[in-house]
Copies of this chain bind each other. A is one copy, B any other.
Amino acid sequence: MAGEFDLISKYFANQQLKRSDVALSQGDDCALLQAPENTHIAVSTDSLIAGTHFLEHANPQWVGHKALASNISDLAAMGAEPAWVSMAITLPSADETWLEGFCEGFFELANAHDLQLIGGDTTRGPLGITLTVQGFIPQGLALLRSGAKVGDKILVSGCLGDSHAGLEVILDPSKRERAHASELERRHYCASSKVALGMMLRGKASSCIDISDGLVSDIQHIMQRSNVGAQIHCDKLPLSAELIEFTQDKHLAQQYALKSGEEYELCFTLPQHLLESVRQSAQQHNVMITEIGEITDSNTLHLFDNGQALEDDVAGFDHFRS
């Protein structure tokens, strides 16, 4: 079995990408980096743990993608441009096949975003990956959760609910027979990144968050930080054709869209007068966005279906809720 340092150098040190703001990368006690002037550095840390966020036998390429995608999503939600990533990876054994697949998924996404791996730590233990991503944003232009105003429109990117359907396929083999099961499983792992949209929303969106816990849970984070309420029109939720065929029930698909976590789509609020120009920009960039509701002064979340108020107690997934 190769030694720890051999492993690291073999799989992680030979990446091609070399950013000019990385003065020193792997191989010393620290990386040395230089941030541009007049910018804020946006930093986020996320863990993917086998058994909690993915199954031990999951496709390692998808795991590599997902680990990074969930972190990049936090940068996107702030409107930041990805720059650097540190990786701590814990492995039960030095499984080279697994590492090869993992690196393929990881570096494909990293390279697409000019994101350089600047260092990390490889240890023996239960399978898990913790990434710390860093990106840049001009001072004063970060998209916060705290700026939503009464009357602002609520929008989301992409389609919602697919990730939850994919998770069901993973956890319940009987659902493998359903329409689009494989594709929904892939989507659970391989969310596309919304960095371009986040950067486009700088100075426009009054608030923004990425959908990691589920729309109903994440919109409440905006409500709390902005001290506002919200109403969501379930009939406007963007659903994929695959999800509707998988569930064979549009209302059930809407429930998926409300609670589906790990979507890594953006949920953001816009003042009414910016709606049209943002719609046009999104179209030019080929990014799908959908208006799904409004910010209110009620301090609570109300769900509507075709104008009818719904009683609902769906809540986002909470790792520590029993």
Residues of B within 8 A of A144 (CB): 24, 28
A130 touches B84 (CB 8 A): no
**In the complex, chain A residues 15-72 whose Cβ is within 8 Å of any chain B Cβ:** 23-24, 27-35, 37, 40-47, 49-53
B32 touches A142 (CB 8 A): yes
Number of copies: 2
Residues of B within 8 A of A137 (CB): 32
Q: Does A210 sit within 8 A of B, measured CB to CB?
A: yes
Select one of B41, B45, B74 contacting A132, CB under 8 A: B45
B29 touches A77 (CB 8 A): yes
Given A30-B43, A32-B40, A320-B1; A49-B125 close (CB under 8 Å):
yes
Q: Does A293 sit within 8 A of B, measured CB to CB?
A: no
A121 touches B24 (CB 8 A): no
Interface with B: A86-94, A166-174, A247-255, A271-279, which one? A86-94
B126 touches A47 (CB 8 A): no
Residues of B within 8 A of A78 (CB): 28-30, 32
Residues of B within 8 A of A40 (CB): 23, 32-34
A28 touches B145 (CB 8 A): yes
In the complex, the chain B residue whose C-beta lies closest to that of A140 is: B23
**In the complex, chain A residues 105-129 whose Cβ is within 8 Å of any chain B Cβ:** 118-126, 128
Give min CB distance, A213 to chain B, whole Å: 9
Query: Which residue numbers of A lie inside 8 Å of B, CB to CB?
Result: 1-5, 7, 23-24, 27-35, 37, 40-47, 49-53, 73-75, 77-78, 80, 84, 86-88, 90, 94, 118-126, 128, 130, 132, 135, 137, 139, 142, 144-146, 208-210, 225, 318-322
